[in-house]
């Protein structure tokens, strides 16, 4: 206990010292310039857009998640430069002798312009920004990247970045820097999403038509984020067009999409509605089999968002998501699962220097399985429900220093499983007791420019987690037998865990084109995913840290070098990281996860480590653009109960991982694209022998993950064809022939997945040789051979 206090005190003093340092420069008379930065055409906020002072480019500020910015400057005359990648920069002269509000609209740069106007834009953001280990996806950019079934998918695009690896063939699940897939905090408009995939992971739940901004922190996440060990995937939905009604849609091989955006009340607000439904079950009509013909197999997503400005200082956002997978096979079997999230947010500007956001968030994930004939049907279900309050502030202290602080409160209800059976069924109804928990956190962080070349972002997060009653809480001995059962009342504390999570990022700008960055982050995870299958499964359940399960934690350090070449045409970076993970979870060999009230007795605990080297080269401009990512890494686990307590490779340990993405603009209307992926096969457990039990062959397995799946590689090709954007009309006044932009625009996207028809191993099983049932052979299952697809997109 003493040690803990000392640690906290140490951190508090360090923080105070830095605050004083930041305040030193705040002596002269200062005024603020503040406002929002938006897209001139749609009125959408531009988070991350920057404001720089022309005379001293080291000082500046970037717009927050809501497009708001504020900068404190000593009284005087300034030239302000507002810029954002892909937009024309604006320069504004201001005489700063009072607080000024400047709401800025930036115009998107046409593609041709992007090539010419190089210098004026803030294209060295990757070098200058004090964040590393970040992967962002430009939602526009992914349009041309070929994907499985032509279903564009932000998660699959992210997997093409170094350090982020797909969970399997065609999967939208991902591993970040050796962490497992439940260690990613996935936020959709701040609402945590518990299961981010459809159809056993082949599609993500994120309909890219409704998204604006996608950012993944592989480490070095700010103190405002918490709750997961490995990464934060922050996905923001579009706000909606405040100027014009706009309709976007697409018709694809697998699904169709439609998005409508429109202003609300005199450009004060906007809404966006977006829907997507797949029709994989359409193909089943062609089956000769009656049962397959009547099978149901589809999923849908529905996104809704509205925002409204109320006066100058307040803004309200309401957003929601509903998505569900449905699968049914004749009347005897049904299975559905999905997420619902809802977020209400309130931005308030107390004064030009103090911005706040308050969010109320609801998130629910559930699944249900129905089985058996009518009147003796059995249904099995499980759900997790979160109520979440977030209250965040940003305080723009001066041109050197921007503070973030806030609090977080999440109430979790977990129903690990219930079984309902009808009267004639062979089962009793059964409900595994619900589990309750309260996850709270407070944080403070400061982005501080210590000199024109060095900036530091440091913060502390304090988290407190409580498992709550009501319920029967079991204690187990080492054999997994119950030795004690305690009964707890509603809201009674079962167990509490707390911890301080320091986060530090530093950026040293070496010169105009290069910088050195480093970070340290400690993260804690109080919610654990119990997977009951080796592939991603909707029946995976979440459990809280409890009297039997300690929270997991991780420490990660990273170092990176960033360099841009040829006037920011090429972006280059190398990063290395080392991560230690504690109190990770795995299963006993005979674990039963589904509907097991004693599931905690089937868990084993251990630790992990991961380290690696990531290289990234991106060409941003010109006819040919794209990137190459390479990762060299190792991730290992150590459990007392597994492999005699030796370190062994985690399933997702992939030594080499290469992704090459190329896009070539043939003309304004035709774009070609290709990506090639290679990675070392997953670590896997294979048998080395066999023996007879009860007259049947039983496999004798070698050590856990002692073998490798074959290496994976694949080439995808894409072609994007836009119809003519301009039509030729005769100007009625002058009689001249002019080019007029069409309102209705459309494009065709053709893609080929796995173009050279590589048979990548999805699973390897051991089966008897057909003509000689005494011998075994290894049989490889490949899921997707060459798959062509076509998508038609339109907007007006």
Partner 1 sequence: MLLALKKIELVLIVLFWIAVFSSCEKVIDLKLNDARQQIVVDAYVSNLPNKSVIRLSKSEMLFSTSDYSSIQNARVQIISSQGDTFMFSETAEGLYTNSTFSGIEGEEYSLDIAWDTVRISAQSRMPQMVPIDSVELVVSQSGFMGNTEPAYSLKVHYTDPANETNYYRFDVYKNDSLYDGFVVSKDLFYNGISTYQFFMNYEMQPQDTIHVVLSAIDEANYNYFLVLSKSGSPFNIAPGNPVSNLNGGALGYFGAFAQSEKIFIVPKAEEQ
Task: Map tokens 């009297």 to a residue.
Answer: 547
The minimum distance between CB 761 and partner 1, in angstroms, equals 8
CA dist., res. 695 & res. 773, Å (int): 13
Virtual CA dihedral for 92, 93, 96, 97, nearest 10 degrees? Answer: -130
- C-beta of 68 vs 335, nearer to partner 1: 335
Give Cα 264 distance to the centre of its chain: 30
CA dist., res. 520 & res. 557, Å (int): 4
Instruction: Give the angle 500-361-271 at the CA atoms, nearest 5°.
Output: 135
- C-beta of 217 vs 784, nearer to partner 1: 784
The minimum distance between CB 753 and partner 1, in angstroms, equals 10
User: CA distances (Å), 332 to each of 295, 327, 476, 479, in order?
Assistant: 11, 11, 38, 38
- C-beta of 28 vs 780, nearer to partner 1: 780
Within 8 A by CB and 6+ apart from 1, the residues are none
Structure tokens at 217: 């922190």
The minimum distance between CB 290 and partner 1, in angstroms, equals 6
CA dist., res. 286 & res. 208, Å (int): 30
- C-beta of 713 vs 745, nearer to partner 1: 713
The minimum distance between CB 532 and partner 1, in angstroms, equals 6
- The H-assigned helical ranges of 118-210 are 125-128, 154-158
The minimum distance between CB 495 and partner 1, in angstroms, equals 26
Task: Map tokens 């686990």 to a residue.
Answer: 637
- C-beta of 98 vs 774, nearer to partner 1: 774
Sign of the four-CA dihedral 143, 144, 147, 150: positive
Burial class for 739, CB neighbours closer than 10 Å (0-12, 13-18, 19+): exposed
Structure tokens at 33: 């310039």
The minimum distance between CB 712 and partner 1, in angstroms, equals 14
Structure tokens at 68: 């708001």
- C-beta of 288 vs 741, nearer to partner 1: 288
The minimum distance between CB 777 and partner 1, in angstroms, equals 5
- Dmax (CA) for the chain in angstroms is 94
Structure tokens at 577: 């990281």
The minimum distance between CB 561 and partner 1, in angstroms, equals 40
- C-beta of 589 vs 729, nearer to partner 1: 589
- C-beta of 358 vs 532, nearer to partner 1: 532
Structure tokens at 554: 């991780």
For β-strands 745-753 and 787-795, DSSP reports them as antiparallel
- C-beta of 53 vs 787, nearer to partner 1: 787
Question: Is residue 720 a contact partner of residue 762, using CB atoms and an 8 Å limit?
Answer: no
The minimum distance between CB 651 and partner 1, in angstroms, equals 10
The minimum distance between CB 719 and partner 1, in angstroms, equals 21
- C-beta of 8 vs 282, nearer to partner 1: 282
What's the N-to-C CA distance of the chain in angstroms? 63
The minimum distance between CB 368 and partner 1, in angstroms, equals 12
- C-beta of 23 vs 589, nearer to partner 1: 589
The number of CA neighbours under 13 Å toward the Cβ of 749 is 26
């Amino acid at each position: 206990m003493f040690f803990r206090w000392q640690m906290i005190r140490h951190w508090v003093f360090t923080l105070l010292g830095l605050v004083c340092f930041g305040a030193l420069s705040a002596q002269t008379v200062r005024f603020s310039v503040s406002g929002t930065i938006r897209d001139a055409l749609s009125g959408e906020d531009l988070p991350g857009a920057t404001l720089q002072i022309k005379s001293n480019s080291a000082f500046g500020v970037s717009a927050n998640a809501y497009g708001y910015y504020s900068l404190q400057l000593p009284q005087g005359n300034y030239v302000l430069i507002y810029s954002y990648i892909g937009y024309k920069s604006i320069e504004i002269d201001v005489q700063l002798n009072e607080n000024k509000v400047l709401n800025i609209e930036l115009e998107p740069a046409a593609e041709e312009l992007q090539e010419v106007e190089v210098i004026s834009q803030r294209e060295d953001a990757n070098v200058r920004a004090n964040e590393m280990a970040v992967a962002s996806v430009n939602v526009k950019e992914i349009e041309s990247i070929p994907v499985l079934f032509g279903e564009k998918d932000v998660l699959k695009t992210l997997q093409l970045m170094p350090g982020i690896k797909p969970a399997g063939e065609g999967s939208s699940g991902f591993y970040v820097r050796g962490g497992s897939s439940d260690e990613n905090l996935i936020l959709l408009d701040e609402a945590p999403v518990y299961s981010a995939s459809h159809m056993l992971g082949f599609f993500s739940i994120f309909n890219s038509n409704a998204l604006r901004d996608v950012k993944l922190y592989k480490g070095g996440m700010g103190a405002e984020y918490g709750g997961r060990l490995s990464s934060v995937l922050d996905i923001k939905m579009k706000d909606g067009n405040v100027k014009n009604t706009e309709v976007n849609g697409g018709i694809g091989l697998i699904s169709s999409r439609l998005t409508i955006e429109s202003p609300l009340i005199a450009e004060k607000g906007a809404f966006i509605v977006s829907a997507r439904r797949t029709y994989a079950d359409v193909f089943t009509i062609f089956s000769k089999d009656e049962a397959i013909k009547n099978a149901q197999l589809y999923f849908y997503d529905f996104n809704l968002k509205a925002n409204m400005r109320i006066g100058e200082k307040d803004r309200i956002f309401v957003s929601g998501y509903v998505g569900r997978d449905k699968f049914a096979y004749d009347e005897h079997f049904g299975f559905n699962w999905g997420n619902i999230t809802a977020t209400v947010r309130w931005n308030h500007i107390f004064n030009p220097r103090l911005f706040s956001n308050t969010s109320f968030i609801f998130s629910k994930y559930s699944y249900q399985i129905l089985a058996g004939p009518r009147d003796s049907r059995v249904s099995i279900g499980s759900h997790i429900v979160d109520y979440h309050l977030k209250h965040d502030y940003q305080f723009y202290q001066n041109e050197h220093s921007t503070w973030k602080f806030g609090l977080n409160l999440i109430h979790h209800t977990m129903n690990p499983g219930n079984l309902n059976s009808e009267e004639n069924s062979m089962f009793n109804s059964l409900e595994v007791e619900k589990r309750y928990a309260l996850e709270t956190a407070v944080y403070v962080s400061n982005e501080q420019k210590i000199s024109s070349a060095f900036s530091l972002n440091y913060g502390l997060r304090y988290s407190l987690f409580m498992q709550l009653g009501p319920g029967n809480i079991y204690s187990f001995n080492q054999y997994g037998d119950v030795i004690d059962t305690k009964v707890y009342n509603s809201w009674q504390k079962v167990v509490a865990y707390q911890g301080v999570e320091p986060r530090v990022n530093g950026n040293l700008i070496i010169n105009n084109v290069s910088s050195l960055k480093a970070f340290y982050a400690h993260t804690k995870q109080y919610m654990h995913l119990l997977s009951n299958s080796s592939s991603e499964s909707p029946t995976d359940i979440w459990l809280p840290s409890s009297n039997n399960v300690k929270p997991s934690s991780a420490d990660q350090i990273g170092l990176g070098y960033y360099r841009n070449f040829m006037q920011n045409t090429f972006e280059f970076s190398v990063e290395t990281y080392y991560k230690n993970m504690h109190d990770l979870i795995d299963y006993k060999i005979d674990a039963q996860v589904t509907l097991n009230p004693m599931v905690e007795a089937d868990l084993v605990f251990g630790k992990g480590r991961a380290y690696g080297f990531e290289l990234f080269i991106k060409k941003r401009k010109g006819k040919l653009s794209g990137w190459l990512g390479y990762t060299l890494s190792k991730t290992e686990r150590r459990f007392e109960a597994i492999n005699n307590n030796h370190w062994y490779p985690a399933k997702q340990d992939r030594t080499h991982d290469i992704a090459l993405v190329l896009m070539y603009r043939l003309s304004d209307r035709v774009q070609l694209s290709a990506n090639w992926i290679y990675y070392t096969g997953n670590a896997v457990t294979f048998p080395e022998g066999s023996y007879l039990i009860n007259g049947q062959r039983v496999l004798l397995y070698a050590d856990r993950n002692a073998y490798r799946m074959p290496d994976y590689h694949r080439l995808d090709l894409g072609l994007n064809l836009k119809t003519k954007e301009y039509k030729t009309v005769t100007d009625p006044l002058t009689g001249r022939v002019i080019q007029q932009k069409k309102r209705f625009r459309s494009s065709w996207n053709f893609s080929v997945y796995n173009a050279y028809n590589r048979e990548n191993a999805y699973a390897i099983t051991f089966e008897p040789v057909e003509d000689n049932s005494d011998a075994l052979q290894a049989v490889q299952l490949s899921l997707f051979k060459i798959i062509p697809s076509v998508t038609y997109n339109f907007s007006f």
